[in-house]
Amino acid sequence: MENGLVNEIRAVAVPKTFRDNTPYISLSVEQAALLARKYSLGGHRIEIEALQAGIVPERYARNMRTFSRPEQVVLLQSRVSVVGLGGLGGGVTEILARIGIGSLNLMDGDTFEDSNLNRQFLSTHEGLAKPKAEAAVARIRAVNASVAVEAHTEFLDADNAAGLLAGSQVVVDCLDSLKFRFILEAACKTAGIPLVSAAIAGMAGHVTTIFPEDIGLKLIYGEKDRLPVRGAEASLGTLPPCVTILSALETSEVVKVLLKRGVLLRNRLLVVDLMDNTMEVLKLQ
Amino acid sequence: MKPSVQIKLFADLSAFTPPGADTFPIKAGTTVRRLLDDINVPAEKVRLVFINNIKGDLDTILKGGERVGIFPPIGGG
C-alpha cells in the first residue's frame, strides 16, 4: 500500500489512553471514512493499514487487547457468510459488523412479515414485506460502513450453494428449517469451510461448530431422511431472549475459528434453556 | 438407598417432566427407553439423549446417579 496513505493516517491519528491508562494512537471513525473516500478504498482497508502501522481504529478500541492488533487485522481481512437473516441472522449480522469482520456475505430470499417483529432485529414496521437482505445491508451501513457487504436476495439451495459461499472463511447457519441446514452443511463440507450452526425452539436452543471433516449435524438430528419438516419450534414459537443469546454464541464461535484461539464447540453442543437457566456443553462423541 | 436419576427434558418435551425429576427413582439396569416410557415421553419425539453430558441413546443402561438429558429436534431461528 502507498506510503502516502500510512503517512496520512499517522498525520490524523491522535494519542489516547485505554481505560487502564495504557497509551495508544487512535484513528477516529470520521478520519477513517474521509481517507476511505479519498483513496477509494473500503473502510476496512484503511483500518487494516492503520493497525499494521500500530494505530488503533477508535471504533475497535474496546476490542483491543482481548484482541491484539494483528488479530483485529485477521478479522478485518476475513469474509464470513451469514445464511438466513431472521432472528439468528439479525443478531449475528449486527455483532459481526460491529466487531469488525471486514467482509460479510449475506443471503436470504425472504421478506419481513408481521410475526417477525417479536425477535428479528432487522425487522421494522417500515420494512414489512421488504427483503431481509436489503434491511441487513442498510443496518450494516448504519453501524459500520467500513464493512464490505454482499447481499443475495435468494434462498440457498443445493445448486447455488457453492457459488454463494465461495471465498468465505466461516459460514454461519441462521436458517429456520431442518432440511436446509443439512443442505448448507453439505455445501460447506464440499467447499471445505467451517460452519457454525444454531437452532432454537421457545426458550431453548443449541449451538455447535462443524469443520468439514467432522460428522456434524447428523450427531444432533440423526439421519436427514428421517427429519420432520419443523422441530419443536412449530409448537413453542421462537422467543427473542433465546434467539438473541444463540446468535451471540454463534458469533463468538466465528471469532474463535478465525483467530484460531480459545475452545471451539467441535463435536460439542452448547445447550441453553432459559426457563431454568441451564447452560451446559454436551459431548456429541 | 433406592437408585434414582435426574431428568432434564428440553423444549416441548419439558411438558412431560415428572414430579421429583431431580431424584426420579429407577430400577437399576433399566434403559433410557424404558425410563421415557414410564414418564410417557413419546420415543419418536426424542432426537438426542445425554447421559452425564455425553451423548447416549435410547438403549443406554442406567445404574442410578446419572443426569439424563433429552432433546427433541429443534430448528427455529
Look at A204 and B54 and tell me if their CB atoms are within 8 Å. no
- Per-residue model confidence (pLDDT) at position A225: 87
Contacts of B50 in chain A (CB under 8 A): 282
The amino acid at residue A284 is L
**Is the CB of residue A195 less than 8 Å from the CB of residue A165?**
no
Determine the length of chain B: 77
Residue A69 to residue A91: CA distance in whole angstroms = 25
Cα angle, residue B45 at apex, residues B54 and B41 outer, rounded to 5°: 85
Q: Confidence class of residue A1 from pLDDT cuts 50, 70 and 90? A: low
Residue A33 to residue A50: CA distance in whole angstroms = 12
Residue A121 grid cell: 432485529
- Per-residue model confidence (pLDDT) at position A3: 81
Look at A281 and B53 and tell me if their CB atoms are within 8 Å. yes
**What is the distance in angstroms between the Cα of B72 and the nearest Cα belonging to chain A?**
7
DSSP class of A225: G
Cα A196 to its chain centre, rounded Å, is 10
Q: What's the whole-number mean pLDDT along residues A101-112?
A: 98
Contacts of B73 in chain A (CB under 8 A): 178, 221, 227-228, 231-232
- Per-residue model confidence (pLDDT) at position A39: 97
Residue A117 to residue A80: CA distance in whole angstroms = 25
Q: Confidence class of residue A229 from pLDDT cuts 50, 70 and 90? A: confident
Question: What string of H, E and C letters represents the secondary structure of chain B?
Answer: CCCEEEEEECHHHHHHCCCCHHHEECCCCEEHHHHHHHCCCCHHHCCEEEECCEEECCCCEECCCCEEEEECCCCEC
- Per-residue model confidence (pLDDT) at position A2: 60
H helix or E strand, kind and range, residue A23: strand A23-27
Look at B74 and A278 and tell me if their CB atoms are within 8 Å. no
A103-107 vs A148-152, strand pairing mode: parallel
Above 0.90 for ipTM, yes or no? yes
Task: Say what percent of chain B tops pLDDT 90.
Answer: 95
Residue A182 to residue A179: CA distance in whole angstroms = 6
Q: What's the whole-number mean pLDDT along residues A125-151?
A: 98
Average pLDDT for chain B: 96
Q: What is the pLDDT of residues A237-284, one digit of tens each?
A: 999 999 999 999 999 999 999 999 999 999 999 999 999 999 999 999
Task: Say what percent of chain A tops pLDDT 90.
Answer: 95
Helix (H, G, I), strand (E, B) or coil at A21: coil
Q: What is the pLDDT of residues A142-196, one digit of tens each?
A: 999 999 999 999 999 999 999 999 999 999 999 999 999 999 999 999 999 999 9
**Is the CB of residue A132 less than 8 Å from the CB of residue A157?**
no
Is the pLDDT score of A228 beyond 90?
no
- Per-residue model confidence (pLDDT) at position A224: 87
Tell me, yes or no, if B44 comes closer than 8 A to chain A by beta carbon. Answer: no
Q: What's the whole-number mean pLDDT along residues A215-239?
A: 92
- Per-residue model confidence (pLDDT) at position A226: 85
Residue A40 to residue A10: CA distance in whole angstroms = 18
Chain A residues within 8 angstroms (CB to CB) of chain B: 84, 86-89, 174-178, 181, 198-202, 204-206, 219-222, 227-228, 230-233, 235-238, 243, 269, 271, 273, 275, 278, 280-285
Q: Which candidate, A2, A3, A122, A16, places its Cα nearest to that of A60?
A: A16
Q: What is the pTM for the complete model shown? A: 0.96
Q: Confidence class of residue A230 from pLDDT cuts 50, 70 and 90? A: confident
Residue A62 grid cell: 474496546
